[in-house]
Structure 1
């Protein structure tokens, strides 16, 4: 079954996000139908902050390695590592040459703003011209940057679908009414980020969501497990919470001890 087809099954595609080849290979071996990547994990492995546009080389290298897996791979390319539509299109074409099946392209920028809508639709159109068979998951950060804005979310997801995106992704969306509104606004598959305690898989399936991804959760959980296991060698039974996205970013920016 193709990566596109996996978004139209009888239940949502559960897409776990890897951060290196070993994690991707382990997830594929566990039976997942497809594997994604997490930009936080890729950046953290390189000692760089996420969403700063500084991990193009690492992202390409990981994509090339993961393309050896026996399942489709979708690569998180942040905002495309360039503001030039042609540069982003060239990047996706390069990933396609490895056999990458999909990309995740976001409209959030490093300065905390959203890319202008007309610019983002131009990027999406350029990518689809350069790599028409790659599943382009167009992410909008309208609920994560600034004040959450459902109206802007609907405007952007509809525009991204019209520009050629194969799917849309709204991280942070959780309420039934909001999810249904996006499903009604954009006639393409909807990706929802799994948020423990807020976005139960079975409920998302009932609503008609097409894809559920784990984002940085697996990577952050792996960090917690490593620390707890290491502390346990000397008998320290103290538990630790899973670090948040902000916690990991702080470590990468020199905020850790």
Structure 2
């Protein structure tokens, strides 16, 4: 379980609170108005933003003081975090070794991950030679080789067209179900939440609310969500 215990975050004049537990294996989307604190929440969970108070736990392990590299968490940002001078295999390999000192077994893991996301023939291509959807698939393959139990996605498919975005969402859902990972995904599109999420976290009025069943939330939206939906 991922627990945010009395978490208080602050960036300049902006503040955000959160206090809830996420159960393993759930697919959870984070929604709310632009600038409301969705990315701030993910940054704190990943370890890029220290809370002013409160704690973050994975099961019984206190993650609050741990750097990002020591947390059981993988994250994809909106730009997919690929290095333009490295090919697909190398970009995925960074998920195993930042120095790219990879064993034969590591290369087998990378090949398997490329095949799983449908890019077996793209191993030597650099990001400039890949489409937007293929770049997103490379980033997902890197998540696979990392094998962490918590996956954070900060709108990595926002630049894709509707059909490709739906395809990538379905692939994400398949991958986290296969691995048993807990997914926390920021989105601005209600249809994304409805498509793959079990639960939704609404971020509004400087507070990240506890997760609610997706169907129930959209059928019975609070005022803050009605304002966001329009």
TM-score by length of 1: 0.37
Higher normalized strand content (fraction of residues):
2
TM-score by length of 2: 0.40
Higher relative contact order (CA 8 A, sep 6+): 2
